[in-house]
Amino acid sequence: GSWRAGFAGRLLPGFEDYCATPYAFGKYDQVALPSFAAGAMENAGLVTFRQVYLLMDPATVSFRQKKAIAKVIAHEMAHMWFGDLVTMAWWDDIWLNESFAEWIAHKAVEALEPDFRIWEDFSQGRAAALAPDALESTHAIYTPVETPAQATELFDLITYQKGSSVMRMLEGFLGADAFRAGLRTYMHELRFANAEGADLWRHLEAASKHPVSEIMESWILQGGHPVITAQLQGGALRLAQKRYLSKPHAHVGDQAWRVPIVMRYRDDEGVHEARHLLRSPQEDVPLHARGKIQWVTANADSLGFYRQDPDDEMLAGLIQHVGELSAAEQTGLLDDQWGLARNASRP
């Protein structure tokens, strides 16, 4: 329909601007195929789709399906830059190809169709990935690949949903401007060439002045994710981390992450954000508040791929002011409380 053609037409210059790199392939065709095994495939200049992800009748299409079509079109078009123009050196970095396209597809749909409130849907994907990643049998995002079968195995919730959640966590911590600046220099250096994850970390590090390689290696080279316990101690927030497993009373060991944490809190002067890179099992983070802290969340907008376990006082403040939390923070808080109740990790 005309909406779809208009959407792709608005999308392409948006990607050119974001990447500061013109579209490289001369033409852009979208073709719906019957009995197409993949959802869609990012062939340069001629993207193929399963019919349900491209064809719709605007008069009868559901809101959910309209959003799904927009997201798939945006995901495949993102690959024209990230995947086709700059191509991963080997299948072991396929997670970065897919995670990036999945993350930026949401960003693009949000920019063009804000009424879709697509980041609220993203919360469901994040929750869906937290579940298998809380099992002892989970796998790391980065996995060595030697055979075609091993490559095929990687097209799963960890590669797409956990990977894109980690990309979003990184952008939220570095800031959107620094992230985009690093991506642009990455594109300029590596266009029509092969890249590894380390190349992207190098560019993001130069743009942001944050230790991106150190952060990302801790998230992609080991399976699982932490639960962050948070406790207000006067004007500081005491943060501690340990691995979260859904099995009750599981032995978690001393596994640790470099956790990029964005906190949001309200004091007498309003709502503020603070950032902290948690490197140790436990650290105190001063919040520089004026007057009483009414509420604080250690996972602003649920950007972080971790469970948050606030102490009773913090939890009471969050519940009392729940209307001031974003939709993603509200669903994240509920999902975390349910997860903590199920695994019975608290005394």
- Bridge pairing between strands 282-286 and 270-278: unpaired
DSSP bridge partners of 29: 46
Strand order in the sheet with 40-41: 29-33, 46-50, 40-41
Both tokens of residue 108? Answer: 């693009």
The one catalytic residue among 42, 76, 98, 113: 76
Question: At which residue do the structure tokens 């060991």 appear?
Answer: 253
Sign of CA dihedral 36, 39, 43, 44: positive
In one-letter notation, the amino acid at residue 345 is: S
String of DSSP letters for 225-253: -EEEEEEEETTEEEEEEEE--SSTT---T
d(CA 2, CA 57): 10
String of DSSP letters for 7-21: HHHHHHHHHHHHHTS
Would you call 76 a catalytic residue per the annotation?
A: yes
On whether the CB atoms of residues 158 and 139 are closer than 8 A, the answer is: yes
d(CA 332, CA 347): 22
On whether the CB atoms of residues 120 and 328 are closer than 8 A, the answer is: yes
- Bridge pairing between strands 226-233 and 307-310: parallel
Question: At which residue do the structure tokens 């309209």 appear?
Answer: 66
DSSP bridge partners of 259: 278
Cβ neighbours, 10 Å, residue 290: 11
DSSP bridge partners of 263: 274
Catalytic machinery residues: 76
